[in-house]
């Protein structure tokens, strides 16, 4: 386990998936990250790369060839290399190899960089194309925050506050994990979404292109909460396992296949592209209070 801490926060990360295992606020004596109880969902904060969500028939096509890949890609199940550890940052590295090339035919270096700044944690994804062809990929986060945060509150005591008034529809997910062709209006000129566990009985809330750059988890019954800064991620997932005491805030560069997808990686919705030798970077930040 790798540890990074300052006077406010202590984080722990594992080599498997370079996954955060703990975010502990030393001043408030509170754990903010889900404990990965396997009775509900046995992960804390997996990284999603090189796809997000589910592929139609778990298959995509690139240059006429089919490739099989499971939900959310393979990075979360790979052992990263600890590339750097200092007083303020941790950097983990995953390189393409013979095994990854069987299901994803691109050469890459994928880094995850954790940085502490006061009571804020920054998570940065850096994707370098080390090959000679244009690289196609998706990348995103899946951090699960413990909710309720305090013993005297309940999940339903909390709400999401967006920093802009939103008009957002929820894109429904099929039983196969694919994005449906229809969306249901959910937020109508409002900056607030009350958190109720039945919201997630039909899988995640999936939003495309929210206006907000920041989302806060708040409650009138406690002064403790979370401020999540989205960065330049165009898609957003909000999810919890049925009746579990956590909330995932998921910033995505990419999205699951639609039910009518042609399965071509080049035309996949939300696919990102990086030229040979270039580095793609996206970052989300969370302030804990």
Question: What is the per-residue pLDDT across 44-99, written as a single tens digit (0 to 9) for each?
Answer: 999 999 999 999 999 999 999 999 999 999 999 999 999 999 999 999 999 999 99
pLDDT-derived band at 8, boundaries 50, 70, 90:
very high
Q: What is the helix (H) or strand (E) element at residue 247, kind and residue range?
A: strand 246-253
Q: What is the helix (H) or strand (E) element at residue 13, kind and residue range?
A: strand 9-13
Question: What is the per-residue pLDDT across 243-255, written as a single tens digit (0 to 9) for each?
Answer: 999 999 999 999 9
Question: What is the per-residue pLDDT across 103-129, written as a single tens digit (0 to 9) for each?
Answer: 999 999 999 999 999 999 999 999 999
**Rounded Cα gap, residues 113 and 283, in angstroms:** 9
Beta strand residue intervals within 138-178, DSSP E = 139-141, 144-146, 158-173
DSSP 22-43: EEEETTTTEE-B----TTT---
pTM, rounded to two decimals: 0.96
Please, are residues 123 and 112 in contact by the beta-carbon 8 Å criterion?
yes
Average pLDDT over residues 32-49: 97
pLDDT-derived band at 190, boundaries 50, 70, 90:
very high
């Amino acid at each position: 386990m790798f540890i990074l801490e300052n006077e406010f926060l202590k984080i722990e990360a594992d080599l498997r998936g370079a996954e955060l295992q703990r975010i502990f606020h030393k001043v408030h004596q509170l754990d903010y990250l889900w404990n990965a109880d396997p009775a509900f969902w046995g992960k804390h904060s997996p990284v999603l790369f090189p796809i997000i969500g589910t592929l139609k028939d778990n298959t995509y096509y690139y240059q006429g060839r089919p490739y099989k890949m499971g939900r959310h890609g393979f990075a979360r199940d790979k052992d990263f290399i600890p590339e750097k550890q200092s007083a303020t940052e941790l950097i983990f590295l995953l390189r393409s190899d013979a095994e990854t090339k069987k299901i994803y035919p691109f050469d890459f270096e994928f880094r995850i960089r954790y940085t502490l700044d006061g009571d804020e944690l920054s998570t940065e994804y850096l994707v370098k194309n080390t090959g000679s062809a244009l690289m196609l990929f998706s990348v995103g986060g899946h951090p699960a925050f413990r909710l309720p945060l305090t013993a005297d509150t309940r999940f339903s005591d909390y709400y999401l506050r967006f920093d802009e008034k939103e008009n957002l529809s929820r894109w429904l997910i099929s039983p196969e994990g694919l994005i449906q062709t229809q969306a249901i209006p959910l937020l109508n000129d409002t900056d607030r979404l009350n958190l109720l566990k039945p919201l997630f009985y039909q899988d995640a809330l999936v939003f495309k292109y929210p206006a907000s750059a920041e989302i806060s988890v708040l409650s009138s019954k406690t002064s403790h909460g979370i401020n999540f800064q989205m960065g330049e991620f165009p898609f957003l997932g909000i999810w919890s396992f049925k009746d579990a005491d956590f909330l995932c805030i998921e910033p995505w560069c990419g999205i699951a296949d639609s039910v009518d997808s042609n399965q071509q990686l080049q035309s996949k919705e939300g696919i990102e592209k990086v030229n040979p030798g270039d580095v793609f970077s996206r970052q989300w930040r969370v302030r804990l209070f």
